[in-house]
Structure 1
């Protein structure tokens, strides 16, 4: 008897990622717009709508697995990276790690000019390859846009900050994500 090789597709990873999130309590964690699970699903859906690559969408779906600099509740510890890799694959997990490890105050303002992510988990800097900056920027923007859309008061309070930041990131932002910024935030008054 011949055993056919199992072909893993993004759909397989997507289903496994959603199960992983539910198994690790994301449906019971509060987040603007409902639960962390619903936020993560919206980020993935928005990334899909703007044509992001499958690994970027999977990273969007699981971007808070290790916590983030803006949401300090982890589904799993960041040192257990092999577990998430087994669920979403190496390329997506690397983006999730970068997103979770990113010290936003030290990284975001100059990210596009110096390509450096300050890792809050290990206290080191990492220079990104040019091909990794765009997906990181798009994921970061789409995440913030979802939070702002769910809590419009944040746009009033922090709109100028994000408009300035997103303008700095414009050279690395995909045109589709730039359109989303314009649609949800408009231009500076």
Structure 2
């Protein structure tokens, strides 16, 4: 799918309102816990804001606000449980919850290895150890979620430990991953990466 067609689809599939998202979000417990030298709530809202600014469809924006709900490979704290996925579906809808689920169970290294443009994208479920086939659109949405997750934390990265995952992935070597993702990212997401890349001058 070309970037132009992809972005047109992003603009044409908005359904969940910002008010709906925040009402569901405010009903969660545990968002005051620590995350990247701030609170989880601050981080989740920041990721949502980035995805919205990039023109992502509503279910991807919703997924951004809840992206670590089940705990992720690098952030294990949960605000929802995998044995009751229906509860999150009822809050944000099935398409958004499925993205949240895939994001949380994904082996991220396996996703990155498929860049820049996989013919048959897949996700390695780190819990089950099984491969989950993905369509190209879902793969692209997951890459956008990963990038938003990292970029949101960068303003605080100077205070983060050297082994912090977002910091590692956006060092001079790690940034090569994102340069290979250019064909997967929308133009607005790529511009956001480049703006950070150039202004901070550390990735090369």
Asked if these proteins are the same fold (TM beyond 0.5), I'd say yes
Establish whether residue 168 from structure 1 lines up as the match of residue 175 from structure 2.
no
RCO (CA 8 Å, sep 6+): is it higher in 1 or 2? 2
Measured on the aligned residues, the alpha-carbon RMSD in Å equals 2.1
Provide the C-alpha distance between the structure 2 equivalents of 1:156 and 1:132, rounded to a whole number of angstroms: 25
Provide the C-alpha distance between the structure 2 equivalents of 1:41 and 1:34, rounded to a whole number of angstroms: 12
Which residue among 18, 37, 42 is the counterpart of 1:11?
A: 18
Provide the C-alpha distance between the structure 2 equivalents of 1:132 and 1:143, rounded to a whole number of angstroms: 16
1:167 CA drift (Å): 1.6
Is the CA contact 1:40–1:60 (under 8 Å) kept in the aligned structure 2?
yes
1:133 counterpart residue number: 139
Is the CA contact 2:154–2:167 (under 8 Å) kept in the aligned structure 1?
no
1:142 counterpart residue number: 148
Cα distance per residue 1:100-120 (max 9 Å; x no partner): 011112332225425111011
SS in 2 for 1:69: coil
Closer, same or farther: CA 13–109 of 1 in aligned 2, 3 Å: same
User: What TM-score do the two structures reach when normalised by structure 2?
Assistant: 0.79
Q: Paired residues, what number?
A: 179
SS in 2 for 1:118: strand
Cα distance per residue 1:112-140 (max 9 Å; x no partner): 42511101122211121012122111111
2:45 counterpart residue number: 41
